């Protein structure tokens, strides 16, 4: 479902655009006493070490009036195999990762390919501050206040041609900073993709932060994909390459095990994973599957038209 009412905290109070474009410089200044951003590095550290919700977000809930997960939940229980396969590995092993400066290579079937610095991509975009529920294929879930911008704004900027039917994303490969990449756990780099109409949907965002702060390394700094009606493995992290292509990309998990993972990865309680049911999910920090999984993660009204006529059991 789309947000039916404005969030309790206006986007202007979360991160002004001028601050956002120069985000890391501003956070450093905030630590020295600059005004404007309530949560500097010390507050960031404190929030991460605790299991609390930062106070200025305490009233914020999801579209379905669900409470947010704490900053500690969001940043210490992650899937990011580039830093290890255990859920706490990304938090423990990502300290050496350097998310700045950052450049994204954009190419393929578009009129304005090139190497884009992240600050250039952010300049002039309209920030979309939303609360998304991120459901993952393991049937655990969180309620996370991402911030970022609609992927469609980037797509329009680089002008894909009529031959572009899909968009393909790649994660950075830096084994010297990402210890999980030193082993053939997956076929690096991590690759994901969307159909163009999925990519253009207003709910699809490129996230650059969480809880009004820059994305931590373990959450995909500095740029990750969020598609809230799909399982979590679609959320490719630390994106360094975006290509517009004619053919469906072979995404990493489908390549790894096509019997268990597909391209679309739409949240569907009626289709079981070969090794477990997906009818219910475990909402962290619970230890039990305590929520019924919702079709399209609760966004049926907004996205079901994208898949009209498709067999959603076949096209998993």
46-80: pLDDT as tens digits: 444 456 787 777 777 777 778 889 999 999 999 99
Asked whether residue 92 is domain-assigned, the answer is yes
Residue 274 neighbours by CB under 8 Å, 6+ apart: 259, 260
* Helices 23-31 and 41-49: angle between axes, nearest 10 degrees: 90
With 0-12 / 13-18 / 19 or more C-beta atoms within 10 angstroms meaning exposed / middle / buried, residue 123 is: exposed
Residue 108 within a domain: yes
Give the pLDDT band of residue 103 (cuts 50, 70, 90). Answer: very high
**pLDDT-derived band at 188, boundaries 50, 70, 90:** very high
Q: Which class for 196: exposed (0-12), middle (13-18), buried (19 or more C-beta within 10 A)? A: middle
Indicate the SS3 state at residue 248.
Answer: coil
In the predicted structure, residue 236 carries a pLDDT above the cut 90: yes
pLDDT band at 213 (very low <50, low <70, confident <90, very high): confident
Residue 168 in any domain: the answer is yes
pLDDT at 203 over 50: yes
Whether residue 257 lies inside any domain: the answer is: yes
Q: Over the chain, what is the mean pLDDT?
A: 83
Rounded distance between C-alpha atoms, residue 82 and residue 142, angstroms: 21
The total of structural domains in the chain comes to 1
Q: Answer whether 21's CB lies under 8 Å from 157's CB.
A: no
DSSP-assigned letter for residue 249: P
**Residue 3 maps to a domain:** no
Query: Does residue 84 contact residue 90 with C-beta atoms inside 8 Å?
Result: yes
Mean pLDDT score, 251-278: 93
Pairing of strands 166-171, 239-245: antiparallel
314 within domain boundaries: no
From residue 284, how far is each of 44, 263, 288 by CA, in Å? Answer: 21, 26, 9
Please state the rounded mean pLDDT for residues 147-152.
92
Q: Is residue 188 part of a domain?
A: yes
Integer CA distances (angstroms), 198 to 81, 141, 305, in order: 25, 22, 11
Burial (CB count <10 Å: 0-12, 13-18, 19+), residue 169: buried
* pLDDT of 134 strictly over 60: yes
Measured CA to CA, the distance from residue 217 to residue 61 in angstroms comes to 25
**4 lies in some domain:** no
Write out the residue range of the structural domain in which residue 159 sits.
11-307
pTM over 0.75: yes
290: number of CA atoms within 13 Å, CB side?
A: 8
Model pLDDT, residue 122: 85
The reply to whether omega before 217 is within 30° of 0 (cis) is no
Q: What's the Cα-to-Cα distance from 46 to each of 6, 116, 170, rounded to whole Å?
A: 28, 33, 32
For residue 204, what is the domain's CATH number? 3.90.420.10
CB 266 within 8 A of CB 229: yes
């Amino acid at each position: 479902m789309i947000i039916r009412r404005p969030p309790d905290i206006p986007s202007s109070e979360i991160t002004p655009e001028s601050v956002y474009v120069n985000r890391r410089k501003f956070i450093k200044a905030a630590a020295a006493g600059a005004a404007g951003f309530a949560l500097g590095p010390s507050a960031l550290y404190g929030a991460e070490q605790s299991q609390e919700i930062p106070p200025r977000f305490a009233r914020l809930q999801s579209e379905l009036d669900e409470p947010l997960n704490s900053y500690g939940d969001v940043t210490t229980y992650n899937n990011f195999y580039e830093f290890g396969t255990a859920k706490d590995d990304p938090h423990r092993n990502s300290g050496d990762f350097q998310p700045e400066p950052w450049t994204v290579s954009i190419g393929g079937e578009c009129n304005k390919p090139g190497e884009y610095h992240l600050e250039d991509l952010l300049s002039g975009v309209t920030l979309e501050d939303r609360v998304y529920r991120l459901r993952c294929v393991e049937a655990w879930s969180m309620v996370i206040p991402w911030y970022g911008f609609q992927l469609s704004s980037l797509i329009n900027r680089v002008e894909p041609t009529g031959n572009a039917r899909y968009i393909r994303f790649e994660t950075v490969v830096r084994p010297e900073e990402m210890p999980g990449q030193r082993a053939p756990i997956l076929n690096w780099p991590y690759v994901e993709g969307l159909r163009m109409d999925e990519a253009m949907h207003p709910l699809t965002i490129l996230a650059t932060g969480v809880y009004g702060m820059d994305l931590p390394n373990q959450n995909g700094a500095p740029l990750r994909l969020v598609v809230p009606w799909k399982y979590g493995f679609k959320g490719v992290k630390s994106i360094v390459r975006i290509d517009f292509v004619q053919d469906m990309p072979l995404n990493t998990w489908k390549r790894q095990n096509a019997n268990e993972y597909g391209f679309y990865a739409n949240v569907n309680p009626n289709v079981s994973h070969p090794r477990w049911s997906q009818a219910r999910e475990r909402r962290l920090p619970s230890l039990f599957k305590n929520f019924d999984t919702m079709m399209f993660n609760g966004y049926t009204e907004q996205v079901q038209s994208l898949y009209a006529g498709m067999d959603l059991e076949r096209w998993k």
